[in-house]
Chain A
Amino acid sequence: MPRDIVHLALFKEEQLNEAAEAIQVLREMGISDHEISVISGAPLQEKMLGRPMTWTRIPLIGISGALVGFLTALFFNFGTPLLYPIRVGGMAFQTIPTSFVTIFELTMLGLLISTFIGVFVETISPSYGPQGYDERISDGYIGVLFSAPAELDARMHEALTALGAEIVHRAEAKKLWLF
């Protein structure tokens, strides 16, 4: 079965309402939300465009990293003295107050680094929504990317241009990174 063609409807930054309406029009034509993607040069809340909330694993990855950091700190504080015990008179062999410093630092280090790794991995991972890009996005344009069957071309074109969109038919995925 031939793949649906990807289109890009570009709206100027002040045409946010029209972009939201265009998404509604596309939905009414039978194009589902996962076949639509919005790209923008500034963050837009999903509810502004009536889009479903985006889900991310970043907090989960961050918490996992924090746990790894915490366990590493426990090992440093309470495990390493056992590997080569040196008992000094008048000093406790294991201490809790001083361990808080290391535990705090390594837990935070784990949290922050893994959060970044999460962003990095999720960003470079392949996404399955419609691909495509236009340099005008970083100039503030709002792009509505969608894939639609060819028989909808005429209706879609008419409806979106009436809303003020500039339509790039057959929007192509660009190689924006190394791979």
Chain B
Amino acid sequence: MAVEAKSLSTPIHGVDDEEAELREQLMFDPRPREELNRMVMESMVHTTPRYWAVVAFLAVVVLVCLFGAWGYMIATGIGLAGVRKPVYWGVFIVTFVFWIGISHAGTFVSAILRVFKAEFRRPFTRAAELMTTFGLAAGALYPLIHLGRVWVFYWMIPYPNARWLWPNFRSPLVWDFLAITTYLLSSTIYLYLPLIPDLAMARDRTKGWRHAVYKALALGWRGTEAEWARLRKAITIFAFAIIPVMFSVHTIVSWDFAVSQTPVWNSTIFGPYFIVGAILSGVSAVVTILVILRATLKHMDYFIRKEHLDALGKLLLVFSMAWAYFFFNDYLVSWYGGYEAVRKVLFFHSSGPDAWIWWSMIVFNVVIPWLTLWNRRIRRTPWVMLIITLLINVGMYFERYTIVPMTLAHQRFPFDWGTYVPRIEIIISIGTLALFILLYMLASRFIPMVPVWEVREGQEAHMIRQIGKARVPTVSELE
């Protein structure tokens, strides 16, 4: 078959509608590497007084709501929280599960899409990876906060006490510690490795303290064949290895509940159900962040385009359906079993005093995505996607709230039923949300938010082939 291939790396004379449409895609709208570097550097150093005002506000919120409230709780006692018999796991655990879920986005977007060579991932892998790292950092605080007596946190670390008694490695709480530590370390490294060439690029373009920091972090990168080869090899190992780690982390979080004898929690499907929910909430958060980055960072509208929101919107629709499938599967089998305590809890979820939370979860996680995300125009409208993805994350938070305190409040014996009203937990949770946003905003000034070399590599790989009378976009295998 006779084919003719041409790159779109140079402007084409007589651009027709078809090519103009192609140029709406980042991979078919290349710019010289020097210009891409300049755009990314400008997005990092260009700040406005409004940016610093927001940073200062968030810093105050973190100080007051997170460290202030937490410090007050440590000094006064865990009684400041709303947890009491029968609900000993409240918003701290809900928020912990929420942040660990959010952290799945980076690995999903970066590792799974990398393994499957999904080209649209290229400009926003770093934004997603950063979310993983900061989401985990926020989530990892909660086991400490939930401890109450945080000064004995080191009891979680696997080492023997004075009598050579070790922690119980059969406990899901120890599994949690190991899984979160593994995931936090590996996702931080996975963020750092592809960053090295971009740090070297930043090193070559900066002076003063920025230059010193980038120089130290770039590890003397020159871009030799050996350096690229080992980077490629390491990224490949990470991409394949971090996927099962990601699955294990949220599965283990789900086992915190599922290995108990508590009605509704004791479910064999909790592992995959939690993972699908985590990916749904994580990918939603990625879209939220991309829309905000696109609107606030200079030149980001070149890198983050409607095509990316479109692609992620389709993924969201698929994961919303998958979440609904697992939810229904779990619900139906539990309900059908006819075990009275289980049916009572399920009935309490959907018709008790907090039933609005359960119904909101259904609306935000299923009804809204299904009614909207099938539409291409909606998927390509940033402000609508912002609202939808924020609502999905509210829905996912409600899902965890339903699973944890709403379930515990209505267990086997009626004399043991109770209500849960979160108190200082709300303030501390707001503090960690502010911490996440603050870390992200600060990172956007120091870390190149777009992996320039990956984008450029992708643009080099994309060509137009003339097959018969049709011009077809194609991708060469350069990786």
| A interface residues (Cβ-Cβ under 8 A, vs B) | 13-14, 37-46, 51, 54-56, 58-59, 62, 76-77, 80-81, 83-84, 86, 95, 98-99, 101-102, 104-106, 108-109, 111-113, 115-116, 118-120, 122-124, 127, 129, 133, 135, 137-140, 143, 176-178
| B228 contacts partner chain A, Cβ-Cβ < 8 Å | yes
Residues A138 and B201 in contact, CB atoms below 8 Å apart: yes
22 CB-based A-B contacts, threshold 8 Å: A14-B9, A37-B224, A41-B33, A42-B33, A43-B231, A54-B228, A80-B166, A84-B163, A101-B179, A102-B169, A104-B244, A105-B245, A112-B238, A112-B245, A115-B237, A115-B238, A124-B219, A135-B205, A138-B201, A138-B205, A140-B32, A177-B220
A44: B residues at CB distance < 8 A: 225, 228
| B232 contacts partner chain A, Cβ-Cβ < 8 Å | yes
Residues B169 and A112 in contact, CB atoms below 8 Å apart: no
B204: A residues at CB distance < 8 A: 135, 138
| Complexed CA–CA distance, A116 and B208 (Å) | 28
Residues A84 and B225 in contact, CB atoms below 8 Å apart: no
Q: How many A-B pairs with Cβ below 8 Å?
A: 182
Determine the residue in chain A with the shortest Cβ distance to B456: A42
| B209 contacts partner chain A, Cβ-Cβ < 8 Å | no
Determine the residue in chain A with the shortest Cβ distance to B198: A138
Q: Say which residue of B182, B242, B460 sits within 8 Å of A105 (CB atoms).
A: B182
| Complexed CA–CA distance, A42 and B457 (Å) | 7
B181: A residues at CB distance < 8 A: 109
| B18 contacts partner chain A, Cβ-Cβ < 8 Å | no
The SS class assigned to the A binding surface is helix
B: contact size bracket: 35 or more
Least CB distance from A173 to B in Å reads 9
Residues B222 and A176 in contact, CB atoms below 8 Å apart: yes
Residues A54 and B226 in contact, CB atoms below 8 Å apart: yes
Q: Say which residue of B218, B233, B460, B479 sits within 8 Å of A58 (CB atoms).
A: B233
Residues B226 and A127 in contact, CB atoms below 8 Å apart: yes
Determine the residue in chain B with the shortest Cβ distance to A86: B165
B242: A residues at CB distance < 8 A: 112
A109: B residues at CB distance < 8 A: 178, 181-182, 185-186
Given A62-B237, A83-B166, residue A102 in contact with residue B178 (CB < 8 A): yes
| Complexed CA–CA distance, A44 and B244 (Å) | 29
Given A101-B175, A119-B193, residue A140 in contact with residue B34 (CB < 8 A): yes
Residues A51 and B223 in contact, CB atoms below 8 Å apart: no
Bitwise, B213-251 to A at CB < 8 A (1) or not (0) is: 001101111111111111111100110011011001000
